[in-house]
Amino acid sequence: MSTIRLRLSFRLVLLTSLLLLAAVTDAQAQRNRTEGSISKLKCYNERTPSFPASNQGNKGSRDDWCRIDLEFETKTGANEGWIDEIEIKWSVLAEVPAEKRAIFMTLSTFYTDVEDGKHNACVYIKPKFFKRYLKSNRPVLNRLSLYAEILVDGQVIARQEVKSSNRVPNNWYRHRGGLSNELLPKRLTPFAHFDYDYYEHEKVTP
């Protein structure tokens, strides 16, 4: 009888311990869960800045770039306050009505030491993209569909889509492939040092 009671007691203690461990693990996961939201995803026209100290001077008028702005907010669990690293996946679809087709572009940017609160990030489409593919000397903003998603440890915490028209198919941003050299991170543009503290600092990747 004593052996049976000991076994029952051991099983009861083991079961109680497992339940407590599960409760603690779940509470820890709740505390460490990172939340995110996007309040704005929009594109703008921005002219190449003029640098008076340039040795070569300006070759005629300055070009126009397309800047894509993302405004978002992050919130970590209790007693956290910071995210080691976030990834933003950008997708853009440019309609080319004259050729009845569209051009798909993608880029991933990374940011480190992201504090809880509101943030801003941006990427650019270079002027020659519009000249070559859309036959325009200026960004044609109303032909651009935008999509951005924010990831932490590979998990999506926020996403937003902006369609240029109802002609754009659903889930267009899931398309594989696309041009990877037309979207540029801010640090690789003439605007790298402008509004430096306004935008999140990009992680330099190889």
For the segment 127-181, what is each residue's pLDDT rounded down to a tens digit?
999 999 999 999 999 999 999 999 999 999 999 999 999 999 999 999 988 888 8
pLDDT at 109: 97
Each domain of the chain, given as residue ranges in start order, spans 1-32, 33-49+61-188
Distance CA 117, CA 186 (A): 21
Residue range 33-49+61-188 forms a domain whose CATH class is: mainly beta
**pLDDT in the model for residue 204:** 85
| φ, ψ dihedrals at 6, nearest 5° | -65, -40
Residues 6+ positions from 104 with CB-CB distance below 8 Å: 91, 92, 93, 172, 175, 177, 178, 179
pTM for the structure as a whole: 0.80
At 23 the pLDDT is 42
Please check whether residue 109 is in contact with residue 90, taking contact to mean a CB–CB distance below 8 angstroms. yes
pLDDT digits (tens, 9 = 90+) for 6-49: 455 555 555 555 555 444 444 344 345 899 999 999 999 999 98
Please give the radius of gyration of the chain, using alpha carbons only, rounded to the nearest integer.
24
- Give the model's pLDDT for residue 2: 46
Strand ordering across the sheet containing 117-125: 35-47, 64-75, 117-125, 183-185
* Measured distance CA(125)–CA(135) in Å, rounded: 15
**pLDDT, the chain, mean:** 86
